[in-house]
Amino acid sequence: MKCSNQLTSMLRGWARHISIRRSYINPPTTFPPSTESERFTRHFHFHSQFQKPDMSSSSAPSKTLMDFFQPPSKRIKTTPTSLLIPNSNDANGSSASLSVDQKSRVDYNKHLAKSKRNLKICLDKVSNSKGVVKLEELLVEDTWLEALSGELQKPYALSLSKFVESEICNSNIDAVYPPSHLIFNALNSTPFDRVKAVILGQDPYHGPGQAMGLSFSVPEGVKVPSSLVNIFKELKEDLGCSVPRHGNLEKWAVQGVLLLNTVLTVRKHQANSHAKKGWEQFTDAVIKTISQKREGVVFLLWGNSAREKSRLIDATKHHILQAAHPSGLSANRGFFGCRHFSRTNQLLEKRGIDPIDWQL
């Protein structure tokens, strides 16, 4: 009897355990089997009853059931703000940030390098030649070759070339100035499309080491001639430029001042020895070409010989400034006080052209 009671008690305990277990596994709300999504819903509904609520105020918004069945949204790729700001170091930014003076220096250095390159080409031609280089081979600046197309092939120019060659090769002649590679230095240093002003001279200096193919100019280290001394005096009075210790006017040429003699060669110690041999016709062609194909160029004509060239210039398109020659004999008769340097810059600026920096 005692065993029977114990057995009954055990069976009742198991029944209670099974009942509790069944209620835990099968909650009161029942769902008939259906689709996979509905079975997942029942599973989520049951387990969510036992999740601890998130009491954090900064929690993300709760998702609805259907959010789990939506395809994930595409994440938009944003560009950092720093990448949207133009880089000041790029090519355009760098150019735009340069001051006027910096741009002028960049432009000057660029054209100085071109002038030096032209000079080296001529020097190499002379050095590598077995004989005398023809004149037409010593003009190497492309813009002038185009502007003066065919000029050096004309009969007068071919005759001139033979004359200069014979002078250089003549053993009875001590020397011809300037050196061959500098004969066209004025044109090779100042491209046709950059000519802003023209200063006309006569024939080259005939002393040793003086002539360098630019009117009135002498190389550094050579005593400054009296005409150039007077030019520097006028510059000081006109623009306040300090008097340089040298007479090299290359800086003017590179900026666009064509320093052109009307005769481009001369015998040593014999002034005007190459006059009326064809050079005048060639340099007249240079002046006429500038007059016809350019506008707004300032021509500085000093002395009677230079003034005669005014007939070649169209005064309706260009500016002509005339004065006495700056030599010691005539500077006091109209060169001093002419203020041609400041007037040149005023005329250029009126046309929106950068002025010349006359300071050496």
Going from the N-terminus, what domains does the chain have, and what CATH number goes with each? 102-351 (3.40.470.10)
**DSSP state letters, 162-221:** HHHHHHHH-TTS--EES-GGGTTHHHHHS-GGG--EEEEE-S---STTT--SSTT---TT
What's residue 19's pLDDT?
52
Q: Pick 317 or 81 by higher pLDDT.
A: 317
Q: Pick 161 or 15 by higher pLDDT.
A: 161
* Average pLDDT over all residues of the chain: 84
Instruction: Write the single-letter amino acid at 125.
Output: K
What's residue 100's pLDDT?
80
What's residue 225's pLDDT?
98
Tell how far CA 286 is from the center of its chain. 27
pLDDT at position 45 over 50? no
What's residue 292's pLDDT?
99
What's residue 183's pLDDT?
98
What's residue 20's pLDDT?
47
Block residue for tokens 């030096």: 116
CB 335 within 8 A of CB 302: yes
pLDDT at position 302 over 70? yes
48: its two tokens: 């969510």
Q: Tell me what the mean pLDDT of segment 69-98 comes to.
A: 49
pLDDT at position 240 over 60? yes
- In whole angstroms, what is the distance from residue 360 CA to residue 350 CA? 24
pLDDT at position 27 over 70? no
Block residue for tokens 């230079």: 306
How far, CA to CA in Å, does 333 sit from each of 103, 108, 212, 299? 40, 35, 28, 20
- In whole angstroms, what is the distance from residue 346 CA to residue 360 CA? 19
Residues of the chain with pLDDT > 70, as a percent, come to 73
Q: Give per-residue burial for 175-209: e unless 16+ CB within 10 Å, then b.
A: ebbbbbbbbbbbbbbbbbebbbbbbbbbbbbbeee
Q: Whole-model pTM?
A: 0.74
pLDDT at position 72 over 70? no
- Within the chain, how many helices (H) and strands (E) appear? 13, 6
How far, CA to CA in Å, does 59 sit from each of 49, 70, 154, 160, 299? 19, 21, 95, 98, 84
Quick: pLDDT tens for 107-159.
999 999 999 999 999 999 999 987 788 999 999 999 999 999 999 999 999 99
The catalytically annotated residue of 90, 203, 238, 357 is: 203
pLDDT at position 1 over 80? no
Q: Tell me what the mean pLDDT of segment 208-232 comes to.
A: 98
Beta strands in the chain (DSSP E): 176-177, 197-201, 257-261, 266-267, 298-302, 319-323
Q: Pick 230 or 12 by higher pLDDT.
A: 230
At 254, the pLDDT band (50, 70, 90 cuts) reads very high
- 142: annotated active-site residue: no
